Amino acid sequence: MAFSSSCFVSFLGFLFILNGVQAWSKEGHVMTCKIAQELLAPDAAHAVRMLLPDYVKGNLSALCVWPDQIRHWYRYRWTSPLHFIDTPDDACSFDYSRDCHDTHGGKDMCVAGAIRNFTTQLSHYHEGSSDRRYNMTEALLFVSHFMGDIHQPMHVGFTSDEGGNTIDLRWFRHKSNLHHVWDREIILTAAAQFFDKDMESLRKAIQANFTHGLWSDDVTSWKDCDDISACVNKYAKESIKLACKWGYKGVDAGETLSDDYFNSRMPIVMKRIAQGGVRLSMILNRVFGGSSSIEDALVAT
């Protein structure tokens, strides 16, 4: 009896995790990675193609959701805390040494630590092909995925509500939660309202807004980065600030969010997808860049 009920409890726990704690939706990750891949310089484009398994035919976005698919497998359970950061309730700030740990206090076990980790691993890509300590394909997929996650404001949310996961509410007419609104609902509603549900058109509209539109003057500053640790801290700080100012602001559990919330938050979601993609390309261009000049160094080695 004790055995079967604890099995049952862990089965429920498993379902809860699968349904409750998610990441930037498949759509968000696919757009981020596609934006990044189109901005790769030849050296980086080549390295990415070499690292991807043949069956995706060079399409990075086809595997950008892989870290979500494997995070509950026994072998990859250690990666589960790497998708987000829990910050103190209502502090609206991020402090790496205070916040970047798992629930057991394991240092660096958060999305900011993971990007540092896997970027450092990738920076050794050029140092010979045999006897590598790390799996470079996995490192590429993790960096690509986590650069999406760190830009999703609610992935750097408050601890007690699990980044909005426990704030149940309605999105227009169906049940959702605040985390999921930012992971997926806003993206799907934008695609439905403006692009006949076509994600490719949505992605192209985001791209147009940073190549020659709204954000074209900002792209250079988005890419500013001398040191990966400082940069991931900046991205996480941006996210928690946005989570406070736009995510949590004025939202009560149980309410219905609709047009007002959608119209005011959609521009932020779109900009974060653009920034995530542009910055992922910056990282990949630097770690896979042919030159070893000091300007290209991102991690102290």
Ligand X SMILES: *[C@@H]1O[C@H](CO)[C@@H](O)[C@H](O)[C@H]1NC(C)=O
User: Considering only 42-50, 153-161, 205-213, 287-295, which stretch makes contact with ligand X by CB under 6 A?
Assistant: 205-213
Which positions from 68 to 87 touch ligand X by CB under 6 A, shown as an x/- string?
----------x---x-----
Q: Does 296 bind ligand X (CB under 6 A)?
A: no
- For ligand X, the closer of residues 72 and 90 by Cβ is 72
CB of 252 to ligand X, least distance (A): 27
The widest CA-to-CA distance across the chain, in whole angstroms, is: 65
Q: Does 251 bind ligand X (CB under 6 A)?
A: no
Residue 195 makes contact with ligand X by CB under 6 A? no
User: 217, 69, 226: which is closest to 138 by C-alpha?
Assistant: 69
- The rounded distance, in Å, linking the Cα atoms of 262 and 248 is 13
Q: Three-class SS of residue 289?
A: coil
String of contacts with ligand X for each residue 100-119, x by CB under 6 A: --------xx---xx--x--
How many CB atoms sit inside 10 A of residue 148's CB? 30
Closest Cα partner for 103 from 82, 131, 134, 124? 82
Does residue 298 interact with ligand X by CB under 6 A? no
Q: Are 118 and 146 in contact (CB under 8 A)?
A: yes
Which of 36, 206, 287, 299 touches ligand X (CB under 6 A)?
206
| Phi and psi, residue 181, nearest 5° | -55, -40
- Which residues contact ligand X (rule: CB under 6 A)? 30, 59, 61-62, 78, 82, 108-109, 113-114, 117, 134-135, 137-138, 205-206, 209, 213-214, 270
